[in-house]
Amino acid sequence: MKNRIALVTGGSRGIGKEIAIGLSKIGINVAITYLSNEAKALETVEEIKKNGVRGMAIKGDSSIEEDVSFIVKEVEEELGTIDILVNNAGITRDNLLIKMKTEDWDDVLNINLKGVFLCTKAVARSMMKKRYGKIINISSVVGTDGNAGQGNYAASKAGVIGFTKSMAKEFASRGIRVNAIAPGFIQTDMTDVLKDEIKEELIKNIPLGKLGSPKDISNLVNFLASVESDYITGQVIKVDGGLT
């Protein structure tokens, strides 16, 4: 994997951070994007560089087309064209439908789904030219199975799955593989906001009896980013401790 270049959106914390560090451990140069916390992003870059590869952080919102063009241009200038794109950035704005504000619907769909479209489009041309690329989209089991109180999030993550399968078919002849990972409940800032009793209830339904860790996702990203998975495209792989 030496000399390959990856872009991980939302890579300064949580699952994205672990993915970025995981990729650097197998020799991949990694760029991450962050929204506002530059200090945290730079900490992640330092950890990436400890593994003997190049790393960089670029500020930008993956749901804004101009930001995405800027991010991709910066990575290409500093590291080279992108071989591996991990669409990880995502948010939740949970509420029951009756109480859900249109703004919360729009924000979640814009960041979780439109962001994946924009970033994929921005790297597609150079991947097509090279006839090589790996695109890994972070969906969710909520996108395959639904969840009360997460109508907006479920719709966005189901959208990511439809997009993944379509792009896999569109890009296969150009050597670009497109897969999605659907995590179950993973211990990060996103799930730390859940009340303890809700977490305990959740864990009761997980056959393996615990929340997952960001490393569980990063391990699969490394496999999907590597040549070991070259015959796999258009798939949605669940990492959920048996939950679904």
Ligand X SMILES: NC(=O)c1ccc[n+]([C@@H]2O[C@H](COP(=O)([O-])OP(=O)(O)OC[C@H]3O[C@@H](n4cnc5c(N)ncnc54)[C@H](O)[C@@H]3O)[C@@H](O)[C@H]2O)c1
Mention every residue, 6+ apart, whose C-beta is less than 8 A from residue 82: 5, 6, 7, 31, 72, 75, 76, 123, 126, 127, 133
Where does residue 234 fall: left (phi above 0), alpha (psi -120 to 50 degrees), or beta otherwise? Answer: left
SS3 83: coil
Rounded CA separation 167/161 (Å): 10
Site string for ligand X, 79-108 (x = CB under 6 A): ---------xxxx-----------------
- Least distance between ligand X and beta carbon 219 (Å): 15
Rounded CA separation 106/100 (Å): 11
Chain position carrying tokens 């669409």 = 87
Which one, 5 or 186, has the nearer CB to ligand X?
186
Is 33 among the residues that bind ligand X (CB under 6 A)? yes
Is 133 among the residues that bind ligand X (CB under 6 A)? no
Is 183 among the residues that bind ligand X (CB under 6 A)? yes
Residue 153 known to be catalytic:
yes
- Least distance between ligand X and beta carbon 158 (Å): 12
Is 191 among the residues that bind ligand X (CB under 6 A)? yes
Q: Which two tokens stand for residue 86?
A: 């991990």
SS3 187: coil
Is 16 among the residues that bind ligand X (CB under 6 A)? yes
Q: What are the start-end ranges of the E strands in 109-170? A: 133-138
Alpha-carbon Rg for the chain, nearest whole angstrom, is: 17
* Alpha-carbon separation of residue 90 from 33, 129, 167 (angstroms): 12, 29, 20
State how far Cα 232 lies from the chain centre: 18
Q: Quick one: which segment of 45-53, 144-152, 161-169, 183-191 binds ligand X (CB under 6 A)? A: 183-191
Catalytic member of 34, 132, 153, 231 = 153
Q: Quick one: which segment of 29-37, 42-50, 121-129, 161-169 binds ligand X (CB under 6 A)? A: 29-37
Give the number of residues in contact with ligand X, rule: CB under 6 A. Answer: 28
Is 186 among the residues that bind ligand X (CB under 6 A)? yes
Residues 177, 149 contacting (CB under 8 angstroms): no
Which one, 34 or 171, has the nearer CB to ligand X?
34
Among 4, 31, 58, 61, binds ligand X (CB under 6 A): 61
List contacts with ligand X (CB under 6 A).
9-10, 12-16, 33-35, 61-63, 88-91, 111, 115, 138, 140, 183, 185-186, 188-191
Catalytic machinery residues: 153
